[in-house]
Amino acid sequence: MRSAFVLAALAACPPAAANTVFHSWMVAPPVVQAGETFTVEVWLSMEATDFDPEGTFFGWATLSVEFGGDTGLIESATRAYGHVFDVGDVSDTGIWDILPWQPGHPVNWNIDYENPIHMFSFDIQLQTNMFGAVAFEYAASSVYDAVHFGWYLNEETWHEGSVNTLETPDNYYQAEGVSVRVIPGPASCALLALAGVAVRRRR
């Protein structure tokens, strides 16, 4: 099993000395029905205090997504898709070593300048007739043994200038996972109701 750490709760505000703040979070429906497939989106924003972010753009990240909660509810997961170079390896415990990336050369690539930017998504298929809650958390990639974000400063000299979270203590990041509650679907509710009727009749 790969070793990976789940990020502990981070402070609500970055240190006063932080020049660049990366904020990443996951978006998913709060409640889904057993047997359904749903999508988890992973977003990233960048704020800077010592330069104008106009014209800058998302460059890269290295991370994994670890499954938590009632992981037995998860039947399958897709690999990451979106702004990704390496889609990650899917296992029963998570999607490991995802490499979101946006090549910076403006001649050969269509650059997405959005900030916040939707880095990638993955889909989760749930087991039928199983209920509870599943969670998704940021975890380290084996590339840096850390969650890591980077941002290009200029499209003309993108290969020469960037900011990233390995340049501490001037840069800082926050990462927020997400949890999803799984409830019975209509078929499960009908079976539960019939079971209740049968019990009452036996009495």
Residues 6+ apart with CB under 8 A from 32: 38, 126, 180, 181, 182, 183
* Alpha-helical runs (H) found in the chain: 186-202
pLDDT reported for residue 3: 34
Express each pLDDT in 44-74 by its tens digit.
Answer: 999 998 888 888 999 999 999 999 999 999 9
The predicted model scores a pTM of 0.83
pLDDT reported for residue 185: 86
Compute CA distances 24 → 27, 33, 115, 174, whole Å. Answer: 10, 27, 11, 6
Percent with pLDDT over 70 in the chain: 76
Q: Which residue has the higher pLDDT, 32 or 143?
A: 32
Burial state string for 65-97 with b = 16 or more CB within 10 A and e = fewer than 16? bbbbbbeebbeebbebebbbeebbebeebbbbb
pLDDT reported for residue 132: 98
Compute CA distances 152 → 23, 82, 99, 119, whole Å. Answer: 16, 18, 16, 15
Express each pLDDT in 86-102 by its tens digit.
Answer: 999 999 999 999 999 98
Dist. CA 152–CA 34, nearest whole Å = 41
Give me Rg for the CA atoms of the chain: 20
pLDDT reported for residue 104: 60
Dist. CA 2–CA 172, nearest whole Å = 26
pLDDT reported for residue 108: 58
Residues 147-164 have a mean pLDDT of 82
Please give the single-letter amino acid code of residue 20. Answer: T
Dist. CA 90–CA 79, nearest whole Å = 6
Dist. CA 101–CA 200, nearest whole Å = 59
For residue 182 the two structure tokens come to: 């799984």
Residues 95, 46 contacting (CB under 8 angstroms)? no
Residues 161-186 have a mean pLDDT of 90
Q: Is the pLDDT of residue 117 over 90?
A: yes
Residues 6+ apart with CB under 8 A from 35: 126, 127, 128, 129, 185, 187
pLDDT reported for residue 14: 54
What are the chain's domains? Answer: 20-202 (2.60.40.680)
